Structure 1
Amino acid sequence: MRGSNAQQLRYILDEQDTFSTDAEPAPELVQFFQIPSHLLTTVNRRSNGFFSCAETFNQDGELQSTYTWFRVLVKMAARDASSSYSWHEMTFCSRWVSSRCTILCIGAYSLFRGLLQDGLVQLGTTLQPSEPYSLHIPLVEAIVAMQDLSVWSVRNIVRSVEKASTLAAQDRSLPTRESQGFLMMHEAARHAIHSFETLSVTVETVEAMQRHVVHLASKSKQKSGNEPDTLSQVRTHMAFQASMLRNLLLRSQSNKERMQNEIALAYNMIAQRDSQVMTGLGEAARRDSGAMRTIAVVTMAFLPPTFLSAIFSMSFFNYTPEHGSAGWSVSGKLWVYWVCAVPLTCITLMIWYWRQRRVGS
């Protein structure tokens, strides 16, 4: 920061995310920012956001010091909904003592630093060292801008999926969904869920911060009888930022529901296409069944003559009259045919019946 407030208001930006990697922070930082030991546990280090604070008052009821600790996660997805994405896990520790405020920003990558610089350019002249949350305003402004980028990156992906679905519905020659399309929808839904989750926690974090500002304002009003204008401005600005985050949360929820709607539409279109295919197969089976019935009728029509021709073509019958015979003759051994044919037919039918019962059970 520049100007007369540079010595009283300052940010310490640490690009390396030592908080999430379970690395031990420097004892001097822990002591300076009065970081509670329970915030350094694995549970809090792996959390998707939190807010905690502490303040002290002197004997006259005047605010003497204020410490805040909070954490924010933001997910940035690639425009094509591929597996390319980036997580921004940021943890902040602030110390306000005797109108001197310092905020340690852990995990402050280039994107956050740029947005924070933009916020300081817009709000730098209005920052007052006398207010504990003066430096939080541009900080939250940068977080709101990052969440806005996150939500709109997911929205652009959802919009591209919707356009592809509309094109597929209009052009029946196009495949309903390819495997790559389903993968894109899966990735987009995953990004939308993560964005909604982290944004929900960010809203709760900023609202908890807002409640603490209101608490300090009520304490100040009880002490002096009126609320300082600077503190009122901070409270108003914090309320506006919380409102913006809630608006983004609604858009994030809309992205998630729109993505679920597209997934349901894709499955319905596939089910409709499969139903049409099954209808075609049923029609083809019906035609085949008609042809088979025709073949069966023709076979039944020719079966009796075939059986008779087989019988009379055997050597048991003699159609060549001999000298002195008046017609054709039948061999006396014709019983051999029936003795062999009837048992063999019965055995065949019994085997068929046994196999049918076995398959049916």
Structure 2
Amino acid sequence: MLSDVYRRSNGFFSFEDSYDKDGHLQSYNTWFRVLIKTINQDTSLSYTWHEMTFFSRWTPAGSVILCIGASLLFQNLFQEILSQMWSRIPSSEPYSLHVPIIEAIIAMQDTAVWSVRDAVRSVEKDRSRPARGFRDFLVLHDAARHAIHSFETLSVSMEAFGAMQQQLQDLSKSPRNGEPTEASYRIRVYIDSQIRMLRNLLLRSQSNKERMQNEIALAYNMIAQRDSQVMTGIGNAARLDSNAMRTIALVTMAFLPPTFISAVFSMSFFNYTPAQGSKAALWSVSDKFWVYWAFAVPLTCLTMAIWFWRQKLEGR
């Protein structure tokens, strides 16, 4: 149990029993591991991992349990719970010491689940902000990560304690141990009740995770909607620009023919001599005027051909 596989595990439960030749239970050993992640309520959503491993040994003479990695929070909770309920717990059973330990773990899991809930609720109340920055999305995904870890560790704890519950039932019903005693019945009642409480916390943890995923989906949908509105605005602006360009084109078309006529008649191919004395005004055209058309028409056709060719290439 000291291998890296078990030390890195997020939870497990196992046991070992020993009987004498007459079939009487001589010793009963258990070992299990629990992980709990609590979130500190600050702006950075810092967190604390509680990694605890327990070894218990029971003999008819008494029982002892070893807590490895127990945090100060667990120690205080365990001592408080032990002082409150130990007088009501039969101390002669192999699982007697497990009852206050599980109770302390439930208290820590309750704190962990509600710390995640507070983080989720903070995100939900912040959804009305008009825009989210880069840091806001980091906080959003950190809260989702904590919710996933909380659900994972609580699920594994449920599996471990569910296996413990099943083994406790098998132990009390074993023919080698005779009829179930009042003490074993009371221990089963305690642990059954604790398992139900853990199941309730698991449902709350699942709700936290789903609410967090819902907030992430909502955030991305809001971003998509905002981008759509921006694109709509760009489209409206482009339409206004298009209208302006059509106006400019219309004005250009209105002035282009007179400009062309003015340019043609201002060429040196044309000559106008005002009237002088008895001489009438004279308007003459050069016999080389065909040179203008000889260059203008081919260049115009070449320009149009190049334009159509480029349009065809862009269409591909």
Q: SS in structure 2 opposite 1:40?
A: coil
3-state SS of paired residue (1:344):
helix
What is the aligned partner in structure 2 of residue 264 from structure 1? 217
Map Cα deviations across residues 194-236 of structure 1 (whole Å, 9 max, x no partner). 000000000011111111111111026x643x32111111111
**Is the contact made by 2:171 and 2:177 (CA closer than 8 Å) also made in structure 1?**
no
Give the gaps of 5 or more residues in structure 2: none
Query: Residues 314-329 of structure 1: matches in 2 within 5 Å?
Result: 314-320=267-273, 327-329=282-284
Question: Could you tell me the TM-score, scaled by structure 1's length?
Answer: 0.81
Say if 2:144 is the partner of 1:182.
no
Q: SS of the residue aligned with 1:54?
A: strand
Equivalent residue number for residue 119 of structure 1? 81
What TM-score, normalized by structure 2, do the two folds share? 0.92
Report the alpha carbon displacement of residue 322 of structure 1 after superposing the two structures with TM.
Answer: 7.9
1:163 matches 2:118: no
2:38 and 2:111 in contact (8 A); partners too: yes
Judged with a 3 Å threshold, the aligned counterparts in structure 2 of structure 1 residues 61 and 146 are, in CA distance, closer, same or farther, namely same
| Equivalent residues in 2 for 1:181-330, closer than 5 Å | 181-219=136-174, 223-224=177-178, 226-320=179-273, 327-330=282-285
For residues 89 and 344 of structure 1, what CA distance do their matches in structure 2 show?
A: 85
- 3-state secondary structure, aligned to 1:357: helix
Give the deviation of 1:337 after TM superposition: 1.6
Q: Which residue of 1 aligns with 2:5?
A: 43
- The answer as to whether partners of 1:133 and 1:234 remain within 8 angstroms in 2 is yes
In structure 1, what residue type is equivalent to 2:145? R
Alignment partner, residue 51 of structure 2: 89
**SS of the counterpart of 2:131?**
coil
**Residues 148-174 of structure 1: CA distance to partner in whole angstroms, max 9, x if unpaired?**
111010000111111112xx2xxxxx5
User: Are positions 1:76 and 2:38 aligned together?
Assistant: yes
Question: How many residues are matched?
Answer: 314
Encode CA deviations 1:99-142: one digit per residue, 9 max, x unaligned. 32111111111111111111111122234442111111111111
Contact persistence 1:112–1:142 (CA under 8 A): yes
Q: SS at the partner of 2:126?
A: helix
Q: Per the alignment, in what secondary structure is the counterpart of residue 73 of structure 1?
A: strand
Identical-residue share of aligned pairs (%) = 61
Is the contact between residue 49 and residue 70 of structure 1 (CA under 8 Å) also seen in structure 2? yes
Deviation of 1:326 after TM superposition, in Å, equals 6.4
Task: Work out the CA distance in 1 between the residues paired with 2:223 and 2:145.
Answer: 22
Q: Which position in structure 2 is the counterpart of 1:21?
A: none
Q: String of CA shifts for 1:24-69, please: whole Å, max 9, x gaps.
A: xxxxxxxxxxxxxxx3332222111111111112233221111111
Report if aligned partners of 2:113, 2:201 keep a CA contact under 8 Å in 1.
Answer: yes
Aligned-pair distance for 1:282? 2.1
Contact 2:36 2:154 in 1 (8 A): yes
